[in-house]
Structure 1
Amino acid sequence: MFSAVLYTVLLIAPVIAGKLVQQFGLTPTEVGSLFSLELGAFSLATVPAYLWLRRVNLVTAVYAFTGIVVAGNVASGFATSFVLLMALRFVTSLAAGSITVVILTLSGKTSNPSRAFGIFVVFQLIMGAIILAVFPALFAAAKVGAMYWTLAGLAACCLPFVRLIDGEALRGPQQAEGVDSDATSTEVRPVNKVKFAVGLIAVLLFYVGLSGVWSFMGQIAGGSGIGLSTTSIVLALATIPGIISPLIATILGDSPHRRWFLLGGYIALAVGVSLLFGGPGVVQFAIAAFVFKFAWTFILPYLLSSLSDLGGGGHVMNTTNLMIGGGFAIGPILSGTLIEASGGFGPMLAVAITGVVLSLVGAMAIQGRTRGA
């Protein structure tokens, strides 16, 4: 429930972006700044969580954060200025990110963490597909506030499920022993700082490239003369391959062929971005969106498992999460600035492809050295 709802605003960025431009007359840089702020706050919630996660009752914390998410979305719908909207989205995303920290931490403690994380990813993509298909039809004549109020209602639907969380799961003696045991086992194989840095750069560039393109998919389509309704349907359908690919990755699992899986995924991602050059028609845009979304979610589990294999315990994945959020935050504002400065999408797409290629180089470097270690 929380995965489906909390990630919705991030996954439907192309639809909300169009409404924000219409209602507030925002420039591409301003649109990119808003999404960067929101995505950055979502990620930065990891930092204060180090202080409170193991010190408070999780049920109480999640109730409080969910209340803030509901109130923040309601208030966002009433915002009359761009500055106020940015402030509200920052607070709302910080609370949503805090809930995500709890859910992901508990998912890692289940009897089958891989399956738990798989459910977490798949259901947010399913919800994103549904809303991308439904929102344009329901809110065609409505202001962006209607979307935020709907998100508030969806967040409120999560409240009955909060009680299912074990509030003391991270403070009990058994859990504490488990954490110490894990930490001890990972400390036996300390992380190589050079490989760690290369891996983090690969993750950062990966998310800078894909988030910058995804946030402006609607504008790219609009610039090619494709209508908003058609664009929304295409992006909703593109979520289907986005759901299929992590399922395939789960079935294939990690293997000695991971290097080739990553290589194929990166090549597909670069092809998807390349197809967006030159004002694509509907069919070309649809193919680009499908390939882009499939490659994005296929690469992700293998890239993260590559970082996890470096050792270093939980610090590696915590820092990786910050890189993901940083990439998500940098991508939209960088793309918006490039679009506004050039008056077109070519430079932004070129930078995105460059980031993808450099990320591929970093990912391959980790594979080669890790396999040989």
Structure 2
Amino acid sequence: MKTTLEPHEGAALDATRYSGWTLMSIIILGAVISLPGLIAPALAVQLAQQLGLSASQIGAYFFIELMAFSSAALPAQFWMGRFDERRVARVAAVVFVVANCVTAGMPFHLGELLALRFVAGLAGGTLGLLCMTSAGMSPNPDRAFGLWIVGQLVAGAIGLYFLPQLFAVFGLKSLFLCVAALTTLALPLCGAFSSRLTKPVRRPRGAGRVRQAGAPGRDGRFALLVVSAVCVFYLAIGAVWSFSSRAAAGAGLDPILSGKILSIATLMGIAGAMTASVIGGRGSRRLILGLGYGLLIAALVGLCTGPHLAGYAVSVFAFKFAWTFVIPFVFAVAAKEDASGRLTSAVGFITGVALAVGPLVAGVLLDRGVSYGALCGGAAVLCAISFLCMLLANRRLAGAA
């Protein structure tokens, strides 16, 4: 049985258990731990140039790290609710720093590199999970998820602009040392996660003080729709974004110029997430999702055509804007009926799995002769399926209100 709180009780919980420092920790730590994935196009180029990796090997690199990142949700089922979140965050941050420092100081042999990236991914995923569940417990999850993504995009924009230049001088170790240093600076923020953070469920006006939870079948269908939408969405995103340097090369761009354009694209992503944050819970979610997904699919169709410089820039700008505009609303739909945080945890797990599998599948397909344009076409189809799942999930959510 699910209990609900009177509005004034919920407000009191919001004020005492959810602080501005918690929001800051979500934004900053979420940005730092996600940096290697955020600069995936530039990293893919450097892995190919410095280590001589093929597209499928680069896909395996991203698969290992991102799969470890998402696998953090599995041990979380044990420690969540049993251990102080602040202590878990500190331990994970220290492990993340050590793993990145060791990676930077070792010779880059593929096997050892993948093992260390697995450890780093598991520690980073634990921090990421704390960020996601804390954002879902916010009094305004639409806004919290939007700001969480803005923080990542700011870090990604800076990384895509500067890291290709650092790669040219210092190689891959510059990335791992930067991530370790930034995590060390952000370590005090681990204490801002609220211990035993719980989300109040506000009681609708005129409803009884206690109401029964929804039927298991309905809840299961809702969760399946949300998880499916997130899964196919991030499969498409992971495949397209990780190898977007292929489209840049086809448009005649060198790696440094490509990094600058992708950095500007990330600024467009910031605009998308900020727009989502400003809109928050206002307006028709169905219309908002329709506009966001429509622009995303149009951008993928544009990338299918193998555009020259101007067309590539416009398509990748629209792609990044739409991607980051849509996803806060997707996460907010999941968090809306998730009082325990477990569905949000499951969505975080699926996000990481899909982001890991996307580059792996894309790398294998590219090595087997599939064009990047065909890859974008398949991604557009997956995004259309994701949109359909979200429409059905949102309808169920509205019908249960």
Per the normalisation by structure 2, the TM-score is 0.83
Residue 382 of structure 2 is aligned with which of 335, 338, 355? Answer: 355
AA of the residue aligned to 1:141: V
Contact 2:143–2:278 under 8 Å retained in 1 = no
AA of the residue aligned to 1:292: F
Alignment deviations for residues 26-57 of structure 1 (CA, whole Å, 9 cap, x no partner): 11111111112211111111110121233334
How far the C-alpha of 1:88 sits from its partner, in A, is 0.7
Contact 2:69–2:121 under 8 Å retained in 1 = yes
Q: Which moved more, 1:275-284 or 1:21-30?
A: 275-284
In 1, distance between residues paired with 2:305 and 2:140? 46
Alignment deviations for residues 66-99 of structure 1 (CA, whole Å, 9 cap, x no partner): 2211121122222421111111111001001112
Alignment deviations for residues 283-337 of structure 1 (CA, whole Å, 9 cap, x no partner): 1111111100110011112222333445675333222222212211111111111
Give the match for residue 126 of structure 1. Answer: 154
Contact 2:95–2:123 under 8 Å retained in 1 = yes
User: Match of 1:140, SS?
Assistant: helix
Contact 1:187–1:312 under 8 Å retained in 2 = no
Contact 2:64–2:356 under 8 Å retained in 1 = yes
Does 2:205 match 1:188? no
User: Judging changes above 3 Å, is the alpha-carbon distance between structure 1 residues 367 and 57 closer, same or farther for their aligned structure 2 residues?
Assistant: closer
Does 2:288 match 1:231? no
Residue 197 of structure 1 is aligned with which of 224, 231, 234? Answer: 224
In 1, distance between residues paired with 2:287 and 2:260? 32
User: Judging changes above 3 Å, is the alpha-carbon distance between structure 1 residues 146 and 186 closer, same or farther for their aligned structure 2 residues?
Assistant: farther
Give the match for residue 99 of structure 1. Answer: 127
Alignment deviations for residues 223-282 of structure 1 (CA, whole Å, 9 cap, x no partner): 332111111111111112211122222222335621121111111111111222243211
| Equivalences for residues 133-282 of structure 1 within 5 A | 133-165=161-193, 169-170=195-196, 178=198, 188-190=213-215, 192=218, 193-255=220-282, 257-282=284-309
Does 2:68 match 1:41? yes
User: Judging changes above 3 Å, is the alpha-carbon distance between structure 1 residues 102 and 202 closer, same or farther for their aligned structure 2 residues?
Assistant: closer
Give the match for residue 90 of structure 1. Answer: 118
Contact 1:53–1:102 under 8 Å retained in 2 = no
User: Judging changes above 3 Å, is the alpha-carbon distance between structure 1 residues 367 and 240 closer, same or farther for their aligned structure 2 residues?
Assistant: same
In 2, distance between residues paired with 1:153 and 1:287? 34
In 1, distance between residues paired with 2:91 and 2:360? 30
| Number of matched pairs | 364
User: Match of 1:54, SS?
Assistant: coil
In 2, distance between residues paired with 1:316 and 1:63? 24
In 1, distance between residues paired with 2:332 and 2:193? 27
How far the C-alpha of 1:24 sits from its partner, in A, is 1.4
Contact 2:295–2:322 under 8 Å retained in 1 = yes
Q: Which moved more, 1:225-234 or 1:119-128?
A: 119-128
User: Match of 2:168, SS?
Assistant: coil
User: Judging changes above 3 Å, is the alpha-carbon distance between structure 1 residues 281 and 341 closer, same or farther for their aligned structure 2 residues?
Assistant: same
- RMSD across aligned positions (CA): 2.5
Per the normalisation by structure 1, the TM-score is 0.89
Q: Which moved more, 1:117-126 or 1:349-358?
A: 117-126
In 1, distance between residues paired with 2:87 and 2:343? 28
Alignment deviations for residues 183-215 of structure 1 (CA, whole Å, 9 cap, x no partner): x97962345133432332121111100111000
Runs (5+) with no aligned partner, structure 2: 1-27, 203-208
How far the C-alpha of 1:101 sits from its partner, in A, is 2.4
